[in-house]
Structure 1
């Protein structure tokens, strides 16, 4: 892993990166909607898709294609929801462009489009969850009481995310021939 820290918006994700190019990175998700739900982001912290360079967009798209192929293979799925929520009004919870890759099987949700409601609801609002966690740590350091709002899905541990990172990095290395 690179010595320098890498961020997804304000959140350090250095150990959650399982694939990286010169301009893009793929990271595991702290609160996946379905197993294998990952994110592809530009390395440069850019909030909106319209602000990415042409080179970043091309690299990002090729990275999404490569990662989606491997994710479907690893998780034994037959499709993927590939989605970008571009800006807060579109449901983007972290101000850093990111593409959700959610491996899908037939009938994994009651309705095919239920995945979008999950992305926009409390389960999908990872930015809010991480901000609450940061606030909680700050308050705990000050030895004050603080009530954290309940979120429907519990977050995964760092150990769980790092285990998935290793698995996916190995699979992408097989696919691409390049090591992270």
Structure 2
């Protein structure tokens, strides 16, 4: 789908982009909490929500709405947790604004709010996972420390993410075709 390199913070995610507007993108998640857990981000790497332009905020919100609708349909869910962790103190692990869209079903966690515990845990720390991936060949000691933290919910392979990207790209295109025919 993408023709030029696209980044999520410092990480290249070009092949994980399944929806793109002029100012926003939606990407599959390397460590989804539940099936269908995706991220919507501004194309411009901007760390905090308050630093987005008005135009970016509007485009981002509309992209979140469109993506959430398709994700719920595709994954057969009845709701979604839509969350932004704005800044490191709020649990943001990659310094690039991103909205989590997590499709939800009744009783998918013992408590409805358990999803937030997963977002804040080391299991959901994508930044640390990517750092591990980048450094594992270089620094053996860091590898040991980070492997223990990432074992509970290992990241998916590039092939798995690209397969989901292709499927969701097709589903987003179907939605756009359906909307334009109304």
TM-score range, shorter chain: over 0.9
Cα distance in 2 for residues equivalent to 1:173 and 1:76: 18
Q: Where does residue 33 of structure 2 map in the other structure?
A: 33
- Give the TM-score normalised by structure 2: 0.92
CA positional deviation for 1:4: 1.6
The within-5 A match list for 1:35-114 is: 35-114=35-114
5+ unaligned residues in a row in structure 2: which ranges? none
State the Cα deviation string for residues 4-25 of structure 1 (Å, max 9, x = none): 2110001000000000000000
Residue 147 of structure 2 aligns with which residue?
149
User: What are the Cα deviations for residues 55-79 of structure 1, in whole angstroms up to 9, with x where unaligned?
Assistant: 0000000000000000000000000
Name the residue aligned to 1:2. 2
The count of aligned residue pairs is: 175
Aligned match of 1:165: 165
User: Unaligned stretches of 5+ in structure 1?
Assistant: none
Is residue 2:28 matched to residue 1:21? Answer: no
Contact 2:48-2:97 within 8 A present in 1 as well: yes
Residue in 1 that maps onto 2:132: 132
| Structure 2 CA distance for aligned equivalents of residues 175 and 78 of structure 1 | 18
Higher share in helix? 2
User: 1:47-102 CA deviation, whole Å, 9 max, x = no partner?
Assistant: 00000000000000000000000000000000000000000000000000000000
TM-score calculated relative to the size of structure 1? 0.93
CA RMSD of aligned residues (A): 1.6
| Counterpart Cα distance in 2 of 1:99 and 1:109 | 20
